Amino acid sequence: MSSQVNRLINETSPYLLQHAHNPVDWFPWSDEALTKARQENKPILVSIGYAACHWCHVMEKESFEDPATAHLMNRYFVCIKIDREERPDLDHFFMDALQAIAGNGGWPLNMFLTPEAKPFYGGTYFPPEPIHNRISWKQLLVNIHDAFQKRRDEMEEQAMGIIAHLSKSNQVNEKMKERFRLFTDPSFQNEDLQKIQAKLLESADQVNGGFGRAPKFPQTFSLQYLLRFFHFTGDTHSKEQALLSLDKMMQGGIYDHIGGGFCRYSTDNEWLAPHFEKMTYDNALLVILYTEAYQLTGNNAYKRVVEETMDFMCREMLSAEGGFYAALDADSEGVEGKFYTWSAKEFDEIIPDQRISDLFDITDKGNWEQVNIPRMKRSLSDWAAANALDEEVALSLVKSAKAKLLSHRAKRVRPLTDDKIILGWNALFNQALTRAGLACQRMDWIDLAKRNMDFLINSFYDPSSGKWQHTYKAGQAKFPAFLDDLAYLVQSLIFLYEGDPDTGHLDQAVQIMDYVLENFSDEEQVYFLFTPGFEKEVPVRKMDLYDGALPSGNATMAWNLYRLSLLLNKPNWKKRAGRMLEGTRDAVAQWPNSFGIWANLMLELVEGTVEIAVVGDAALTRGRELLRNYIPNRVFMSAKQEDNRYPLLRDKVKTKETAYYLCQNYACQLPFYTEPETIKAISRIP
C-alpha cells in the first residue's frame, strides 16, 4: 500500500477510505472533479462499489494498487470513486447505463463518461492481464483513451443516445396512463391472486426451496405472498413451498449457525455457500419473514432464527448511539469467508462431541473448498430423534456448543464493519424489531425500536433546511434522503405505533408523507421518483417500480398511502394507492418475483383489511398480546379511551373491561372482551 493519500482520505465512507491510499488520484463525486474534467477536456472514469463487495476488493488489489495501472488512469482520465450505498442515485443511473450498453451489470461498476459527465462505455470487473478472451483493465484504458482522441464524435453521440434511452425508460408508458385515467375503485379479483401464485410456484425449486437456479436470493416478498395466500385460501401447496424454502435457508450455510444472521445470497442451489457479506437490510427482511412464519405455524425453530439474528444484530451491528451499521465484509485477511469457516480439526478441538460435528456437516474433507461451512442437512428435531435425545436436551447441547464456537471465533481477525448508518436500512430493521417484538412478546426489542427511531429522527432530519438525509457517520448526516429511505421510515412508524401506541408516531409519519408527496411525486401525481425534485446532480431521475434486494419504494409508498388512508380517513390517499397498483397490474401478474410487495398489497385489497381498535385501561398490554397473532391484513389502534381525532377511536365508549372492536369502513361490531373470541371473529371476516 502506498504511503501517499488521495482526496478520499477526507471521506467518511469505509469503502472510499479503503481506496484513500491507492496511487490512483481518486476524487469523490464532486464539483471539483467534474470541473477538472471539463477544464482539462478529459473523459471521466467512475468506479462504483461497496465495502462488503468481494470482487471490488479483488480489482483494487490487482489494478488500483498497481502503480503502472494507476499511472494510466491518472494520465488519461479524471478518476472518481463512489460508494453505491452512499449514492444509490448515481449507482442506479450508471447501472442503467451499463445495462443499456452491455445488457448486464454488477459491481465493481466501471463507467467511462464524457467531460460533461455523460456515460458512453462501461463494464464490471476487468482482470489485470488478458484471460479467457477478456480484455485486461490496462488494455481497456488505452483503448478508451485512443477512441476518445480519434473518434470523439462517436463517443459523444453514443452518450446522448444513452441519456435519451434512459429518459424514455423512466417515464410512465401510455398503457399505464390509460389505466390511471380510467381508474375508479380497485377491481382486483381472486383470479389475479391465483395467477400470481401459479407464476411463483412455476419458478419455485421444489427440492431445495427458493426460486430458480443459483445464485439464489431469499426473495422474501414472494415467500411472504405464499404464506399469506395460504392463510386466506388454505392452499397447502403454497404453504409447503414457502416453508420448504424457509427450512432450507435456515439449515443452509447462508445462515450463520454459530453467530446468527444471514448472508446476502447463496452461490449454489442448496444454500450451502454464500457470498459471506452480511447486510442490515437482508437481516431486517428475513427477521420479518421468519416472524410471520412463526406466527402462522407456531414453529419454534423459526422463532429461534429470529432470536439469534436479533442477538447478532445487537451484538455486532448496533452503534452506541442506537443506529445499525450497514454491513459486514465478506473477506477477512484477504480471504472470502475465512472468518466463518472451520477445519474439522479446529472444530473437534472445541467441540469433541461427534454428534455436533455431524449436525453441522463438519467433515475431514470439508464441504466447501477444503474447509467447512456449518450447515444442517436435517432439522434439529430429526437429529435429536436419530441420537435418541429429548428435544430440550438436544437444544441445550447445541446452544452450549454454539456459545463455545462463537467465543473461539471472536478471537479471529474480524471482517471489516461498514459502519456508516443508512436511514432506509435502519427503518427496515426498526420495523423488524417492532414486528418480532410483538410476535415474540419481547418488549426489549420494542424499546430498542423506540430508541432507534429517536436516533433516526434526531440525526437524519435537518430542522434548519427542513430536509432529510440519507447516511450518517461520525456525527455527520449527508446526501439528501431518497424515496426508499422515507418510504421505509413511514412504514416503520406505522408499525412502531402498534407496539408503542403514541399517536406522535402517526403524526411523524404524516409529516414525512407530506414531504415525499411534495418532493418525489412524478408529473402524473401517481408514482414517485427515486430522487427529490430539488436534487439536480443525476441527469435522469429514476422511477423504480420493481423489488430488487430491497422493497420497491413505490410499492412501499402505495402500502403507506393505503394504511394511513384507513387510519386517518384520507380517501384521496387510498385512491392514489389504488391507481399505483392498477398501473402495475400486468407486470405484477407476469413477473411476481419482481413485484412481491405489490402482489401482497393486491392480496390484501382482494381479501379485505380488518380494522382493529382496542380501548380501555389495559389497552396497551391487551393490544400487544393480540398482535402476537398472524393478522397480516390489518390496521390497528389502541388507547385508554376514545380519541375523536382518529376514526377508529371515535365514539368508543370506555367500558369496565378493555374492549376489542372489529370494524370495516369504520362500521364496528359489538365489542369483544377476550383475545380468543376476537381472533375467532377476525378469522370469520370475509
Task: Read off the pLDDT of residues 515-563 as tens digits, 9 standing for 90 and up.
Answer: 999 999 998 899 999 999 999 888 889 998 999 899 999 999 999 999 9
Task: Calculate mean pLDDT across residues 376-405.
Answer: 96
Q: What is the Cα–Cα distance from 638 to 662, expressed in whole angstroms?
A: 12
- Residue 576: all three cell numbers together: 392514489
The C-alpha cell 414517485 sits at 528
* Per-residue pLDDT, 382: 95
Rounded mean pLDDT of 4-18?
94
pLDDT at 122: 95
Mean pLDDT, to the nearest integer, of 20-48?
A: 97
CA distance 193 to 256: 34
pLDDT of residue 480: 96
Mean pLDDT of the chain: 94
pLDDT recorded at residue 686:
57
What's the mean pLDDT in 554-577?
96
Confidence of residue 631 (pLDDT cuts 50, 70, 90): very high
Name the DSSP letter for residue 219: -
In whole angstroms, give the CA distance from residue 584 to residue 555.
10
Report the length, in residues, of the chain: 686
How is 299-356 classified by DSSP, letter by letter? -HHHHHHHHHHHHHHHHHSB-TTS-B--EE-SEETTEETTTT-B-HHHHHHH---HHH
What band does 188 get if pLDDT is binned at 50, 70 and 90?
confident
Instruction: Retrieve residue 569's grid coordinates.
Output: 380517513
Domain boundaries, the chain: 7-169, 358-409, 610-684
Task: Name the nearest CA neighbour of 598 among 555, 552, 557.
Answer: 555
598-627: average pLDDT: 96
Q: Are 125 and 58 in contact (CB under 8 A)?
A: yes
Q: What DSSP letter does each residue of 415-455 carry, written as one string?
A: PPEE--EEHHHHHHHHHHHHHHHHHTT-HHHHHHHHHHHHH
- The pLDDT assigned to 379 comes to 94
Q: Name the residue among 649, 505, 510 with its Cα closest to residue 570.
A: 510
Distance CA 109, CA 106 (A): 6
- Residue 57 carries which DSSP code? H
Specify the amino acid at residue 10: N
**Are the beta carbons of 201 and 211 closer than 8 angstroms?**
no
Q: What is the pLDDT of residue 183?
A: 67
Phi/psi at 194 (5° precision): -70, -35
Which position has the grid cell 457517520?
A: 473
CB atoms within 10 A of CB 630: 19
Average of pLDDT values for 380-406?
Answer: 96
Task: Decide if pLDDT at 185 tops 80.
Answer: no
Residue at grid coordinates 402517526: 506
Q: Looking at residues 150-178, what average pLDDT do you find?
A: 85
Closest CA to 576 of 558, 598, 597: 558
Contacts 24+ apart (CB under 8 A), 71-75: 71/23, 72/138, 72/141, 72/142, 73/24, 73/25, 73/45, 73/141, 74/23, 74/24, 74/25
Reported confidence tier of residue 2, pLDDT bands at 50, 70, 90: very low
Q: State mean pLDDT over 174-202.
A: 81
Residue 70 makes CB contacts below 8 A (sequence gap 6+) with 22, 23, 24, 25, 64
State the burial class of residue 215 (Cβ atoms within 10 Å of its Cβ: 0-12, 13-18, 19+). Answer: middle
For 242-296, write each residue's pLDDT tens digit: 999 999 999 999 999 999 999 999 999 999 999 899 999 999 999 999 999 999 9
* pLDDT the model gives residue 131: 87
pLDDT band at 169 (very low <50, low <70, confident <90, very high): confident
The pLDDT of residue 1: 41
pLDDT over 90 at 194, yes or no: yes
pLDDT bin (cut points 50, 70, 90) of residue 571 is very high
**Range 7-169 has CATH code 3.40.30.10:** yes
At 170 the pLDDT is: 76
Q: What one-character-per-residue DSSP string does 177-200 give?
A: HHHHHH-SS----HHHHHHHHHHH
**CA 402 – CA 376 distance, rounded (Å):** 13
Residue 174, pLDDT > 80, answer no
Return the percentage of the chain with pLDDT > 90, whole number: 88
Using CB atoms within 10 A of its CB, is residue 132 exposed (0-12), middle (13-18) or buried (19+)? exposed
State how far the Cα of 566 lies from the Cα of 549, in Å rounded to an integer. 29
The contacts of residue 153 (CB under 8 Å, 6+ apart) are none
* Lowest mean pLDDT, pick from 173-177, 330-334, 428-432, 660-664: 173-177
Report the pLDDT value the prediction gives residue 401, as an integer from 0 to 100: 98
Which comes out higher in pLDDT, residue 173 or 339?
339
Check: pTM over 0.85? Answer yes or no.
yes
Q: Which residues contact 90 (CB under 8 A, 6 or more apart)?
A: 29, 46, 48, 82, 84, 537, 538
The secondary structure of residue 214, as a DSSP letter, is S
Distance CA 682, CA 678 (A): 6
What CA–CA distance (Å, rounded) separates 378 from 380? Answer: 7
Contact 137, 61 (CB under 8 A): no
pLDDT at res. 654: 77
Read off the C-alpha cell for 301. 425453530
